[in-house]
Amino acid sequence: FGSSRLLVASLAFDIMFSHKRPAAQLASAEEPQLKVPSKHGPCQALVCPRWNEDGNKGESIRVQDLETPSYVLYRSIFEQNVSEMQARAKKLGCQLRPHMKTHKTLEGGLVATNGTKRCIVVSTLAEAEFFANGGFDDILYAVPICASKLPRAARLVQQLERFHIAIDHPDTLTQVLNRPPADGKRWSIFLMVDCGYGRDGVDPTGDLALEIAKRIRDSAHAELYGLYTHGGHSYDAESQ
């Protein structure tokens, strides 16, 4: 299936928090404008800048004035990790498709996509709708779809230039093909394959994977956009 794309989504570390240095050192080295308390001091001393949805810096705010839950990160570390991941994907000849499930913010998505608002992964349809309404496109819902979610997924197909679903079972594919999107649009499908984690996906070396792929290829209501795999067991790796 030469026209299919191999998805690179979540690699062995989170794109945002891969640097394992103490918070105080990070703040002094990367964010000199932050005032970090001592080890046993009050956290209310921390002052951090707010970043707007357009990527521009807003007013600063004290931690004690934040409403909880709030999301705080070192932006310079986040941007550095994004740059490293983009460079790694480019070297491998892949399109990086970062996952949004950790931060769940438009601002984080803007940084992770280098401002393009394209090519992202989500774990729920609510996340997909949130980012779609925030101007993002080319969104993959990376959980095996089920029949009850097809109406919401079909609306996202209508709303976006590209919205992708994932499949790893022939019965699910039958349900999908029996419920095509409106207005002549087709389902864009990632075939989920199991790379050894055992959570979801078909055996990439088995006949079932080929059977599902061929059915998608031959359907008038769907296209095989690419392959998706989740190597969750890579988190246990001890080497680089």
**Range 191-194, long-range pairs (CB < 8 A, 24+ positions):** 191/166, 191/167, 191/216, 191/224, 191/226, 191/227, 191/228, 192/144, 192/166, 192/167, 192/168, 192/227, 192/228, 192/229, 193/168, 193/227, 193/228, 193/229, 194/229
pLDDT in tens, the chain (240 residues): 333 344 433 332 334 433 333 333 333 333 444 444 444 444 445 666 666 666 677 777 777 788 888 777 888 899 999 999 999 999 999 989 999 998 899 999 999 999 999 999 999 999 999 999 999 999 999 999 999 999 999 999 999 999 999 999 999 999 999 999 988 899 999 999 998 777 788 988 999 999 999 999 999 999 999 999 887 777 778 876
Q: Is the pTM of this model over 0.85?
A: no
